[in-house]
Amino acid sequence: MKTFRTEVPVPTVPFELHIHHPMLSVGSCFSEEIGRRFLNARFNIVINPFGQQYNPVSISKSLIRLTEQRLYSDEDLITYNGLFHSFDHHGFFSTANPEKTLDRINDAFNKACHQIRHAEIIWITLGTAHVFYHKASSQIVNNCHKIPNTSFEQQLLHTDHIRQALQEAIRAVRTVNSKVRFVFTISPVRYVAQGFFENQVSKGRLHDAIYTLKSSEPDLFYFPSFELVMDELRDYRFYKTDMLHPSAEAVDFVWSKLHQWFQVETMLITGETERIHQMLQHRLLSENKSEQIRYYDTLLKSMNAAMEKYGTNYIDEISQISVKRNALLEEKH
């Protein structure tokens, strides 16, 4: 029977993903969508320590800085609209207090410094070849922080510039972690602010740069997130209401395809950890305290069993659920 769609094959790779193998993921908002699936399944992964990053130059710059273990200081901050920002970071890190901003930045930075030295896989999700060049500081920025666009010059990176930036980052990372593998993917999110044609040119340059890198760098692989959404799904049913970002169903579909790279044991563990995650997210509608207690007992039993059998970490969740359960017991009595 016809499938009535183009099926995109997932390439085979000479490794298998295990839930306990350390990984680092950097890149666009799509990397966070997939990254959250890894986190929910209790993989050992650090996601976007600089926040969402879309262009390859900013991603490269961040990876190189992690290898140098060069913390951020007051000199790296700018102020605008009463907030302290870093051009390297997403607005999530910005606050009205410079010390608090730096604490947020450097806390995430330190965790990523450790992870990059032990990671077996580094995921890099590229979003766009368009960049914003800050005229006053003569640098390509990761985030404009709503500063007037007259302060920036928009540029479209050449393929060679992209390839060179990524190659520099790859080689810098390998100086501190010789065993690491890199998996590149391209975000299926369409960045049409610059135009639909311009978005296609941008994605094409990202593809070209990765294609060229694959032929010259060992242990570099490509996962077809872009193709799975754009070629296999290719239907607006699989987009959010803005018709630009893939829906949760589309992300789940890409995640399911990624399972082809999992170890058999990891598939078994992931089935249990995802079930536990769904239970943790479940909203109890029943007001019957006995039913609520039984639900929490089942959840606690599942988490303790997973910790003992698989070595997954549910310490914080067990503590939180235990507090809720004990409070219900006191109310009953």
What pLDDT score does 285 carry? 85
Structural domain including 293 reads 282-333
Read off φ and ψ for residue 124, nearest 5 degrees: -125, 115
What pLDDT score does 287 carry? 85
What pLDDT score does 187 carry? 95
CATH of the domain at 132: 3.40.50
Residues 254 and 309 in one domain: no
Residues 258 and 294 in one domain: no
> Which pair of tokens denotes residue 51?
């926040």
Residues 255 and 315 in one domain: no
- Note the helical H segments in the chain: 29-40, 56-68, 98-118, 159-176, 196-216, 225-227, 248-258, 264-281, 289-310, 315-332
Residues 315 and 258 in one domain: no
What pLDDT score does 138 carry? 96
Q: 154 burial class (0-12, 13-18, 19+ CB within 10 angstroms)?
A: exposed
Pairwise CA distance, residues 126 & 55, whole Å: 6
Residues 183 and 289 in one domain: no
Residues 240 and 295 in one domain: no
Residues 129 and 251 in one domain: yes
Whether 277 is covered by a domain: the verdict is: no
The pLDDT profile of the chain, 333 residues, written as one tens digit per residue, is 677 788 999 999 999 999 999 999 999 988 899 999 999 999 999 999 999 999 999 999 999 999 999 999 999 999 999 999 999 999 999 999 999 999 999 999 999 999 999 999 999 999 999 999 999 999 999 999 999 999 999 999 999 999 999 999 999 999 999 999 999 999 999 999 989 999 999 999 999 999 999 999 999 999 999 999 999 999 999 999 999 999 999 999 999 999 999 999 999 999 999 999 999 999 888 889 999 999 999 999 999 999 999 999 999 999 999 999 999 988 876
Q: Which residues of 263-278 are buried (b: 16+ CB within 10 A; e: fewer)?
A: eeebeebbebbeebbe
What pLDDT score does 333 carry? 64
What is the distance in angstroms between the CA of the first residue and the CA of the last residue of the chain?
Answer: 62
Residues 28 and 136 in one domain: yes
Whether 6 is covered by a domain: the verdict is: no
Q: Which of 218, 234, 263 marks a domain boundary?
A: 263
What pLDDT score does 224 carry? 97
What pLDDT score does 147 carry? 97
Contacts (Cβ under 8 Å, ≥6 apart) of 191: 54, 127, 128, 130, 199, 202, 244
What pLDDT score does 251 carry? 94
Q: How many domains does the chain have?
A: 2
What pLDDT score does 4 carry? 78
Whether 173 is covered by a domain: the verdict is: yes
Give how far the C-alpha of residue 116 lies from the chain's centroid of Cα atoms, to the nearest Å: 14
